[in-house]
Amino acid sequence: MARTQGTGKGTGTDRSLAGLVGRAFGRLGRAGGLVFLLAGLALSGFGAYEGAYAAGWAGTHGTLTVERCDVSYPNNASRSSRKNRRPVRCEGTFASDDGKSTDANAAVQVRQRFAQGTELSVQQTDPPTTDTATDADYVQTGMDRAWRWFGAFFGGWVLTGLGAFCLLTGFAPFGQSRISFDAAWEGAASGRGVTRPVVIGMIGVGLVGAGVSFLVSYFV
């Protein structure tokens, strides 16, 4: 009798512990889903923002005539990063295409050095606060760069779709999950059944859009 009671207590304790672990992993899955969702929205927003400027759809388009280009590396940059990354800052004079805006203190980050007098096609994202200020922002334009940013925009859709799936079902894509993928996938089809097609659509469009965007960027 004593053994039976002991076994019952042990089983009850095990079940309580399993329940606590299950609830913890359920919350972990939803928290992870929220992180993926926010990261996806941020990536899509940033990709759309940078892509619009790189394509010349936003801001003020013009030409930056290079006066000098300097290469600077962070003090803590490793030798490999110094070799593979060249943060070049080119300074010069900016003149908008419409002739309404000029900036003698313009500067833009590029990937390589340019000779003095080179004319770079740039987009002014923020104008200088005063005529002598050096706080204006510029990005080098080009459809190859724009398409890469659009690839990041669509890549954010994949994270957003995955995040929405985990947030709504409680499935944790990392580590041990309280809810199996099969159970979460079946649950996504319950009710009005909108979760599954939305997730499939977002991830599918994201993967295709990102792939096409990066592919097009090498041919434009």
User: What are the pLDDT digits (tens) for 85-132?
Assistant: 558 999 999 999 988 889 999 999 998 899 999 999 999 998 888 877
- Domain boundaries, given as residue ranges, for the chain: 25-53+146-217, 60-141
By DSSP bridging, strand 102-110 and strand 88-96 are antiparallel
Q: What is the mean pLDDT of residues 210-218?
A: 94
State what percent of residues in the chain have pLDDT above 90.
46
Confidence check: pLDDT of 210 > 50: yes
Give the pLDDT confidence score for residue 220 in this predicted structure: 79
pTM for this structure? Answer: 0.70
Separation CA 9–CA 131 (nearest Å) = 79
Q: Are 62 and 101 in contact (CB under 8 A)?
A: yes
- What is the pLDDT of the chain when averaged over all its residues? 80
Residue count of the chain? 220
Residues 6+ apart with CB under 8 A from 41: 156, 160
User: What are the pLDDT digits (tens) for 3-59?
Assistant: 445 455 555 444 554 444 444 444 566 778 888 899 999 999 999 999 999 999 999
* Higher-scoring residue by pLDDT: 4, 164: 164
Give the pLDDT confidence score for residue 28 in this predicted structure: 63
Give the pLDDT confidence score for residue 21 in this predicted structure: 44
